[in-house]
Amino acid sequence: MSYPPWPKGKKLVHLDLKGAPPRVEYLHRLIELFSELGVDGLLVEYEDVFPYDGELKLLQATAQPAYSRDEVLSMQEFARSKGMEVIPLVQTFGHMEFVLKHRSMWHLREVAHCVGTLNPHREEGVKVVMEMLRQVVELHPGLSTLHIGADEVYMLGEGEESKLWLASPGRTVEQLFLSHVTKVARAVKEAWPHMTIIMWDDMMRGMSLDTLKASGLVGLVQPMLWDYTPNLDVSKTVSLLEKYCSAGMADLWAASSFKGSTSVYTCVTSTQRHLDNHLQWLKVAASLSPAVNMKGIAITGWQRYDHLSVLCELIPVAIPSLAVCLQTLLHGQFSAEAQSKVTGKLGISSVEVETMEMTCVADTVFPGRRLAELIVELNALLNSEDIRFFENSMFVRGWFSPYQRQRKTVTPLITMQIHNQASLFLATLQQKVEAVREEMAKLYPDSTVQEWIEEHVSPVTAPLQRITEDVAACLKEMVP
Residue 97's contacts (CB-CB under 8 Å, 6 or more residues apart) are: 115, 116, 306, 307, 308
Cα–Cα dist 351/270, whole Å: 9
Cα–Cα dist 463/469, whole Å: 10
- Measured CA to CA in angstroms, residue 241 lies from 22, 252, 293 at distances of 34, 8, 10
Cα–Cα dist 259/292, whole Å: 27
- Measured CA to CA in angstroms, residue 280 lies from 229, 234, 275, 276, 366 at distances of 9, 7, 9, 6, 27
CA 320 distance to own-chain centroid: 16
Q: Is 357 a catalytic residue?
A: no
Among the listed residues 153, 134, 141, 261, the one whose alpha carbon sits nearest the alpha carbon of residue 199: 153
Buried-state track 8-44, b at ≥16 Cβ within 10 A, e below 16: ebbbbbbbbbbbbbbbbebbbbbbbbbbebebbbbbb
Catalytic residue among 32, 131, 152, 354: 152
CA 30 distance to own-chain centroid: 16
- Measured CA to CA in angstroms, residue 275 lies from 267, 299, 351 at distances of 18, 11, 10
- When computed from its CA atoms, the radius of gyration of the chain, rounded to whole angstroms, is 25
Residue 415's contacts (CB-CB under 8 Å, 6 or more residues apart) are: 399, 400, 471, 474, 475, 478
Is the distance from CB of 117 to CB of 156 less than 8 angstroms?
Answer: yes
Indicate which residues carry an active-site annotation: 152
